[in-house]
Structure 1
Amino acid sequence: MFYSHQYKGLRFPIQCVWLKLNGSWPLSPTSKEKSRRDESVLGNSYLATAYIIWAWYVIASVGITISYQTGFLIKNLSDIIITTENCCSTFMGVLNFVRLIHLRLNQRKFRDLIKHFSYEIWIPDSSENSIAAECRKRMVTFSIMTALLSCLIIMYCVMPLVELFFGPELDPQDRPFPYKMVFPYNANKSWIGYVLTYMFTSYAGICVVTTLFAEDSLFGFFITYTCGQFQLLHERIDNLFTESNEDDEQMQLKRLKGIVEKHNNIIRFAHRLEDFFNPILLVNLMISSVLICMVGFQIITGKNMFIGDYVKFIIYISSAISQLYVLCENGDALIKQSTLTAQILYGCQWEISGQFKPGSDKSNSKNIRNHLWFMILCSQQPVRITAFKFSTLSLQSFTAILSTSMSYFTLLRSVYFDDEKKHN
């Protein structure tokens, strides 16, 4: 049922299992789709239909939970401490609500991206080179990010239960929930209503966090192996004129054409990758600066806060910064590897090759020079991933977002202390 291209033993990160559980993974196209290329119907299979219904249920549950949180936010808008605390979880919910809708509405693009990656980018683990091992090693950072975010959602879901069963006795109307929310009904009227509401909102939060780290891991997986392909391309360029007979210009030209074709395929995949992910990246970068600011504000200004809340917010800001850094660092690596191609081309010892010797085939020599020049010209334009062309995913963007967060934090802190002085 799930679309899974097995070319060259392709293995996706284990985090992608959550995209399948949350209803975001594309299904295999039906025979009707293959003949008509009509993506409006994903098949007559009962399992496929049930999966689509489940996907929209997950989206609806996240949207409903966000509306409950927004209600609480509006109700307590005058209290800056409560507002900033609630904004942390609400904004993260909004970010991943957008992600879930984007993934659901772009299933065909998702399948095409996987297909192109399978054929052109994936480096099998069985390859006899160190680049595949290096790519696997780089994916460890996403496992660390996954662990941080998993700890965060566990604390959100478990801490209210600890407070309920091991804390001081609470009034039935004050039973805690995973997040601060206002309901259109009395969720504490009975134990059954409380348990069902708790489970509903908790699972919505789990879907939010798992979608976040699963999609980021997949995005990092694509970029990591794209950088690996650039490294393999650089090795082929280095050996272009040194491995073959220097007088065999025809063979050199054939190998150079293969390198040009591979270079174009890598660039095309990077453009597909940007086209698919840039709406999500735009929302991510916009919200990240606000999230980091508000979590930092909670840590600095929180009074009489339970130790578990401090730990929760420290994990929150650590995961937010690490998630942003990992994405920007991968984007920066792609820029560096793509622009390095021009330098590798210029230093590939073309000056000692046979195409410049007297008596050589002039047409082959000219073709080789033209291919080299055009590739150098193309490589001078970096391959980059942007957030809808507003910002480039790079370490420079990472520092800019942190700087913006610090500016917001300073403003928010000054407003808070000015209010305290007025009340005192």
Structure 2
Amino acid sequence: MFPIPFSFFQEGSMWYVVYLVQVNGLAVGIWNNAGLDTLNIGYMGVALAELDILIYNIEHSAEASASGVTKSKSDVDEYLFTCYKHHNKIMEFIKNIEAVCTKSILVHYVSSIVVICNSGFHLIMTPLFSGQFIILIVFFSAIMIELAMYCWIGNEIILKSLQIGDACYMSKWYEFSPRTNKILFLIMERSKRPLTISAYKFSVLSMSAYLKIIQCSYSYFTVLRRVYMKD
């Protein structure tokens, strides 16, 4: 059997050539898919790390001044203004991530629904513990993990962006000057709108979206099973 159904060259010396071409094509496709996932998730991981750094810097702004990171307490204004600019850079970076990766994320998003549905349907039609059943289990698990990685890190970006406002409150704002508190207020107001990464505006990457995909795939699966049972 060919890895991919092919009606020609079922016998003879060309069978080996076609088999090697199909195996090579599948390997290249898997390699490209893994590289694209690594690139997208790596970008989002950098954004998540920058949010963690910003949260830490805001929470410890007063301690940074006292420990000599800034020259004096009057320099906290400049220190927090740097945090404000850092926040702007993170927002711009996430917008760039979405501009570059949103189309590929949408392809993963939509194809995952189809693949999860079809894989689940073939699982119930395949004999248990057969070679085909094991291959389907591995493929089904890989798709679920791949989609979960995107949705989890997108959800973490949402949560971390909302924690910036909490970090402003947890800082020693009561020791700061009115001018410094205005900067904190600006950061808090901007953090009320969470930072998100979407699948081409179709859906925001989050754990709730992950559950919706599973529910949607299960709905299609039940419809497909009913049609098959009737036939």
* TM-score (normalizing by structure 1): 0.51
Instruction: Decide which moves more: 324-333 or 215-224.
Output: 215-224
The offset of 1:306, in angstroms, is 7.8
1:267 maps onto 2:88 in alignment? no
Cα offsets for 1:193-212 (capped at 9, x unmatched): 22221111111111111122
Give the match for residue 215 of structure 1.
Answer: 36
Give the match for residue 231 of structure 1.
Answer: 52
**What amino acid does structure 2 have at the position aligned with 1:322?**
I
Whether the 8 Å CA contact 2:3–2:19 is kept in 1: the answer is yes
- Give the structure with higher Rg (CA): 1
* Aligned mate of 2:111, from 258, 268, 287: 287
The offset of 1:249, in angstroms, is 5.1
Identical-residue share of aligned pairs (%): 24
Measure, in 2, the Cα distance between the counterparts of 1:306 and 1:205. Answer: 24
The offset of 1:248, in angstroms, is 4.4
1:312 maps onto 2:135 in alignment? yes
The offset of 1:181, in angstroms, is 2.8
Go from structure 1 to structure 2 and tell me whether the alpha carbon gap of 1:306 and 1:352 turns closer, same or farther (over 3 Å shift).
Answer: closer
Measure, in 1, the Cα distance between the counterparts of 2:10 and 2:121. Answer: 31
The offset of 1:346, in angstroms, is 1.8
The 5-angstrom pairing of residues 71-90 of structure 1 reads none
Give the match for residue 415 of structure 1.
Answer: 227
Measure, in 2, the Cα distance between the counterparts of 1:399 and 1:189. Answer: 46
Give the match for residue 166 of structure 1.
Answer: none
Go from structure 1 to structure 2 and tell me whether the alpha carbon gap of 1:306 and 1:240 turns closer, same or farther (over 3 Å shift).
Answer: closer
The 5-angstrom pairing of residues 98-117 of structure 1 reads none
Measure, in 2, the Cα distance between the counterparts of 1:404 and 1:189. Answer: 42
1:180 maps onto 2:5 in alignment? yes
1:403 maps onto 2:215 in alignment? yes
- Stretches (4+) displaced over 3 A: 247-250
Give the match for residue 74 of structure 1.
Answer: none
- 3-state SS of the aligned residue for 1:178? coil
> Any unmatched runs of 5+ in structure 1?
1-175, 356-364, 420-424
Measure, in 2, the Cα distance between the counterparts of 1:240 and 1:189. Answer: 73
Give the match for residue 276 of structure 1.
Answer: 100
Measure, in 1, the Cα distance between the counterparts of 2:57 and 2:125. Answer: 56
Measure, in 1, the Cα distance between the counterparts of 2:186 and 2:25. Answer: 51
> Any unmatched runs of 5+ in structure 2?
none
* Aligned mate of 1:386, from 190, 198, 201: 198
The 5-angstrom pairing of residues 17-416 of structure 1 reads 176-182=1-7, 186-188=8-10, 190-191=12-13, 193-244=14-65, 248=72, 250-302=74-126, 307-353=130-176, 355=177, 365-366=178-179, 368-416=180-228
- 3-state SS of the aligned residue for 1:244? helix
Measure, in 2, the Cα distance between the counterparts of 1:268 and 1:207. Answer: 33
Go from structure 1 to structure 2 and tell me whether the alpha carbon gap of 1:309 and 1:224 turns closer, same or farther (over 3 Å shift).
Answer: same
Instruction: Decide which moves more: 224-233 or 285-294.
Output: 224-233
Q: Indicate the structure with greater helix content.
A: 2
**What amino acid does structure 2 have at the position aligned with 1:384?**
T
Measure, in 2, the Cα distance between the counterparts of 1:415 and 1:291. Answer: 18
Measure, in 2, the Cα distance between the counterparts of 1:291 and 1:325. Answer: 14
Measure, in 2, the Cα distance between the counterparts of 1:390 and 1:254. Answer: 40
The offset of 1:220, in angstroms, is 1.6
In angstroms, what is the RMSD of aligned CA positions?
1.9
Measure, in 1, the Cα distance between the counterparts of 2:153 and 2:129. Answer: 36
**What amino acid does structure 2 have at the position aligned with 1:337?**
K
Measure, in 2, the Cα distance between the counterparts of 1:334 and 1:306. Answer: 40
Cα offsets for 1:288-307 (capped at 9, x unmatched): 1111011111111235x881
Give the match for residue 64 of structure 1.
Answer: none
Measure, in 2, the Cα distance between the counterparts of 1:279 and 1:244. Answer: 44
Question: Which gives a bigger RCO, structure 1 or 2 (Cα 8 Å, sep 6+)?
Answer: 2
